[in-house]
Structure 1
Amino acid sequence: MGEPNLPARQMGRQLKRMRERLGMTQDEAGKPLRMSTSKVSRIEMGYLPPYHDFRALLDRYNVIVSDWDEYISAYDRAKEKGWWHHYGVGNRGFLPIEAEASKVKVFQFGYIPGLLQTEAYMREVFAAARVQMKPKVLENQVTVRLLRQLRLTDEPILQLHAIIDEYALRKPILGRAERQEQLRHLVERARQPNVTLQIVPEDVGAYAGQNGNLIVASFDDSEEPDIAYVEHIFGSVHVEKEAEVSAAKLAFKDFADRALDAEDSIALIERL
């Protein structure tokens, strides 16, 4: 079974609705097909089954063969690999979530978020990775991040709310000229209607955001729950439990309340 993406999760929910309309339990649906309850459950969570298992489920749910085309087309869409696979980047990390999201809230303490980085800045970040990248891998990572940034200007437009600690703006990652370019780039992005940028100023003092970074993604599909994402030195964690995502949203609101508003944030960056 492949990793669940948005089309696969949507298809899983559709299969679940078909089963429930017939009044079947997961065990009753799967038993005649030699599918375990856990397998049916995973399919309904968005893990793609083999093609023949999928067809068997359609038949089990009384979908007539003449109506199969739309479901098979949806299955094929769910099987498609993201554009980033062309650059040797897999489905781990936040990229597949971001590609499907309509709105992203991101808090960064130590550095500028990837969607707002200049090429010079991202090269420095990638070059400083714990495991040194080969030149080709580094170039692919830069290309992918630049392509990700197109979501801020091209359809489907991503709504971005970014909160950055002032420490990240002052951190000497770049030389003077490149640093000025990065700060100007932030101002330009912050003036876009789909981008909200706030800065937590130095005089705020100690607060919970100093413990790390946080991202919350939302989707156009009303049935698709929000997802929280946290990166750490050894990898990353996807958080999908409702209570934990709610806690992440409350933390983000706290950081936003401590930060300057959008106009004052732009003014601070311009002073720097």
Structure 2
Amino acid sequence: MWHGPAVHRRKLGEELRGLRDQRGLTSGQAARLVGWHQSKVSRIETGRSGVKPADVIRLLDAYEVRDARLRMLLGALADSADDAGQHWARAYRGLLPPQYRDFISLESRARTARTLETSVVPGLLQTPAYARAVTRAALGSLPPDKVDSLVEVRLARQEVLRGDPPLTLNAVLDEGVLRRQVGGPAAMRGQLRHLLEAAAWPHVSLQVIPFQYGGYVGLTGPFIIFSFPDISDLDVVVLDHLTSSLYLERREDLEAYSGAFQTVQSLALSCEDSLDLIARTARQAPGRSGASGEA
């Protein structure tokens, strides 16, 4: 189990160690090639210290790695470990705790996200009104200006769904997510309509587990699995807690959570039937007067 940037550092270290082994070099020989002490190479390979992208390039040159795509990806991985998050997030460094900046970094660099949500709409699909209500409920002691800033961060994160290529998002929601009136009826109707609009994007799939299924694996806690392009064994499971996030990247953890996600997908309604349920729920949502709408 790793927290924050250690995920990036350890993965990068594994890749660099593998490339060194392919060249038949010891860590001491590699260090001499780039003019470092052997302990620096060892710390990088074990993830105990970060490494600048320029230093990664020096190692790749020493290992005679010419693959442009691999060089770019490892350099980007070093950059994410050294300065977690997208550039826009730097403006919020004083507000965002380290684990949230690390989560943004993972999310911004992932190719695919698979998420099970049991209580709230996934952050990447939240409307401003819904996001504000969730933030106020979770962090009610914050002053209004900080709540507004956190909502801005959540909305900025959604740009990953509009990137080139965009993040592929596969989300499974408990029916309770649709029924809980977060922010009041008007905000909830707007949120449900937004889910229907987002599901029309080719890189977003939504499924709902209806109440009729009762208990199921994952019911006691949401999770998200990030998958990354082209770098081996880089998937990460993220578990959110009230005050921190936990990152799991052991093979057995990844297999367990991947299997759990496949299970909940099989229990959930099809994408088409899920959208029908979302649309019906939106129509049935209470009006401003508190009366139910048409079914």
When structure 1 is superposed on structure 2, of 16-25 and 48-57 the one drifting more is: 48-57
- d(CA) in 2 for partners of 1:30 and 1:194? 44
TM-score, normalised by the number of residues in structure 2: 0.76
The change in CA–CA distance for 1:225 and 1:136 in structure 2 (over 3 A counts) is: same
- d(CA) in 2 for partners of 1:242 and 1:262? 29
Q: Give the C-alpha shift of residue 95 in structure 1.
A: 1.4
Q: Give the C-alpha shift of residue 165 in structure 1.
A: 0.3
TM-score, normalised by the number of residues in structure 1: 0.82
- 1:86 aligned residue: 91
User: Cα RMSD over matched residues?
Assistant: 3.3
Q: Give the C-alpha shift of residue 271 in structure 1.
A: 0.6
> What residue ranges of structure 2 are gaps of 5+ in the alignment?
65-70, 282-295
- d(CA) in 2 for partners of 1:76 and 1:203? 43
- d(CA) in 2 for partners of 1:145 and 1:118? 9
Deviation per residue, 1:74-132 (Å, 9 max, x gap): 48972455321212235423211101001000100011110111111110111112562
The change in CA–CA distance for 1:75 and 1:217 in structure 2 (over 3 A counts) is: closer
Task: Please state whether the residue corresponding to 1:215 is helix, strand or coil.
Answer: strand
Superposition map of 1:185-204 within 5 A:
185-204=194-213
> What residue ranges of structure 1 are gaps of 5+ in the alignment?
64-69
Q: Which amino acid aligns with 1:204?
A: Y
Q: Give the C-alpha shift of residue 138 in structure 1.
A: 1.7
CA contact (8 A) 1:11 1:74 kept: no
CA contact (8 A) 1:33 1:56 kept: no
Task: Please state whether the residue corresponding to 1:209 is helix, strand or coil.
Answer: coil
Q: Give the C-alpha shift of residue 233 in structure 1.
A: 2.4
**The one of 41, 47, 50 aligned to 1:48:** 50
- 1:129 aligned residue: 138
Indicate the percent of aligned positions where both proteins have the same amino acid: 34
Q: Which amino acid aligns with 1:85?
A: R
Q: Give the C-alpha shift of residue 13 in structure 1.
A: 5.5
When structure 1 is superposed on structure 2, of 9-18 and 86-95 the one drifting more is: 9-18
CA contact (8 A) 1:159 1:195 kept: yes
- d(CA) in 2 for partners of 1:54 and 1:225? 18
- 2:289 aligned residue: none
**The one of 268, 271, 275 aligned to 1:259:** 268
Task: Please state whether the residue corresponding to 1:211 is helix, strand or coil.
Answer: coil
- d(CA) in 2 for partners of 1:76 and 1:100? 9
Deviation per residue, 1:213-266 (Å, 9 max, x gap): 010011112425211111122321100111111101001111111110100000
The change in CA–CA distance for 1:132 and 1:233 in structure 2 (over 3 A counts) is: same
Number of residue-to-residue matches in the alignment = 260
The change in CA–CA distance for 1:172 and 1:54 in structure 2 (over 3 A counts) is: closer
Task: Please state whether the residue corresponding to 1:173 is helix, strand or coil.
Answer: coil
Q: Which amino acid aligns with 2:265?
A: A
Q: Give the C-alpha shift of residue 134 in structure 1.
A: 2.8
